[in-house]
Structure 1
Amino acid sequence: MTVQHDSSVYEQIQSGEQFQELRRRYRSWAFPMTVAFLAWYLLYVVLSGFARGFMGTKLFGNINVALVFGILQFVSTFLIAWAYSRHASAKLDPLADELRHDVEERAQ
């Protein structure tokens, strides 16, 4: 098995329909989720800078809107990680496993 043979196997896989479908599935989830999270994060930053009165509004005791939004940033991060894990298990991993087996067979 030569290095040139190995690279051609990977090039063939990469140009194939299955790989392109895997990329499409990944991007169709990752890009919108990234945009949504960045928008949510920037909303928090902008409100903290320009809507101090609103962010300083006390909800109960010493808990204000800014603290709740800050905690929700962490919550949303964990929810996104959990959702991605489910998406990957259901939509990406089976196709990636097929591709890996195809690469292993062609490399032999």
Structure 2
Amino acid sequence: MPEIDIPARPAPTGEEFLAMQASPEFQDLRSRLRRFVFPMTAFFLIWYGIYVLLGAFAHDFMATRLFGNVNVGLIIGLGQFLTTFVITGLYVRFANRELDPRAEAIRNELEGPLQ
């Protein structure tokens, strides 16, 4: 079967990009992203700040042994890594469900569907 050459749509102009940026669809996409990212960032920075403050000012608490050589500071430190992975997973799921379909629709409107 012979391949059919479909002419490519010309690249969007600067005016088209600006018009899309002002569109309700783009504003909704941006708003959804910010409603997820800003609270998650604040949560993680506060959580990390508490860890640092506890490490600096609550030595006895952080040195409290839980079992063997494992203390509270080590568990909270490992919790920082766990939190990072959980937030990443939540963001990927959120982006796949909420952001990517909207971004694809905006891209298709601006550039045409992918061939």
TM-score range, shorter chain: over 0.9
Supply the distance in 2 between the matched residues of 1:79 and 1:12 (Cα, whole angstroms): 36
What letter matches 2:65 in structure 1?
Answer: K
Supply the distance in 2 between the matched residues of 1:78 and 1:2 (Cα, whole angstroms): 41
How far 1:93 sits from its partner (Å)? 0.5
Over 3 Å off, 4+ runs:
none
More helix by share: 1
Instruction: Specify the alignment match of 1:22 in structure 2.
Output: 29
Supply the distance in 2 between the matched residues of 1:35 and 1:78 (Cα, whole angstroms): 16
The alignment-based identity, stated in percent, is 43
Supply the distance in 2 between the matched residues of 1:94 and 1:73 (Cα, whole angstroms): 31
Choose the corresponding residue for 1:96, options 82, 99, 103. 103
What letter matches 1:81 in structure 2?
Answer: T
**Unaligned residue ranges in structure 2 (runs of 5+):** 1-8
- What is the RMSD of the two structures over their aligned residues, measured on CA atoms? 1.5
**Unaligned residue ranges in structure 1 (runs of 5+):** none
Say whether 1:37 aligns with 2:44: yes
Supply the distance in 2 between the matched residues of 1:12 and 1:101 (Cα, whole angstroms): 15
What letter matches 2:41 in structure 1?
Answer: T
Instruction: Specify the alignment match of 1:70 in structure 2.
Output: 77
Q: What TM-score results when the alignment is normalised by the length of structure 1?
A: 0.92
How far 1:85 sits from its partner (Å)? 0.2
Supply the distance in 1 between the matched residues of 2:32 and 2:84 (Cα, whole angstroms): 21
Supply the distance in 2 between the matched residues of 1:19 and 1:54 (Cα, whole angstroms): 48
Q: Which has the higher contact order (CA 8 A, sep 6+)?
A: 1
Supply the distance in 2 between the matched residues of 1:71 and 1:22 (Cα, whole angstroms): 34
- The higher radius of gyration belongs to 2
1:53-104 deviation digits (Å, cap 9, x = unpaired): 0000000000000000000100000000000000001110110000000110
How far 1:2 sits from its partner (Å)? 8.3
